[in-house]
Homo-oligomer: A and B are copies of this chain.
Amino acid sequence: MIRLSTKGRYGTRLMVNLARHHKNSNEPTILKNVSEEEGISIRYLEQIIIPLKINRLVKSIRGAGGGYILARKPTDIKICDILYALEGSCSLVECIEDETFCEKVKTCGTYEIWKGANDLLRGYFEKMTLQDALEICEKKIADAKKKTKVK
């Protein structure tokens, strides 16, 4: 499948969640809350957030009253950064980032197909920031609320 792994999906949701909390308060967000809101187990979130921390997209604060905060402003975090941190790549197929991955690259009848698709995707994820995602998300929720009010 052309598929985004759960790491990539959950990790991005985690980041959007942090961004939303961040907007409302400066206190660190605890994974317990993210877990409840997103329906993803704490244990799994703990694993997923490690590469985000290593790649300095979030900062952790240990101990009671601790949690996680974004390391930079949402405008300065690209979705591509998140995916790269989580996957070690932002590519559709490995041969594009790692020429040694497949010896047939030079004659492969499909390399250019994937390359084209990959460039499309990369452009898309390079342009989109966490702030953009946040705005799309807030708008969506606002619209949903409006709808229920009308009822």
CB of A35 within 8 Å of the partner chain? no
This protein's copies in its complex: 2
Residues of B within 8 A of A12 (CB): 110, 113
CB of A64 within 8 Å of the partner chain? no
A25 CB, min distance to chain B CBs, angstroms: 17
Q: How many residues of A contact B (CB 8 A)?
A: 49
When C-beta atoms are compared, the residue in chain B nearest to A7 turns out to be B1
A17 CB, min distance to chain B CBs, angstroms: 7
When C-beta atoms are compared, the residue in chain B nearest to A12 turns out to be B110
In the complex, besides A1-B8, A2-B3, 19 extra interface pairs with C-beta distance below 8 angstroms are: A1-B4, A2-B2, A2-B4, A2-B8, A2-B83, A2-B92, A3-B5, A3-B91, A3-B94, A4-B92, A9-B93, A13-B110, A39-B103, A108-B137, A109-B133, A110-B137, A112-B137, A113-B128, A116-B128
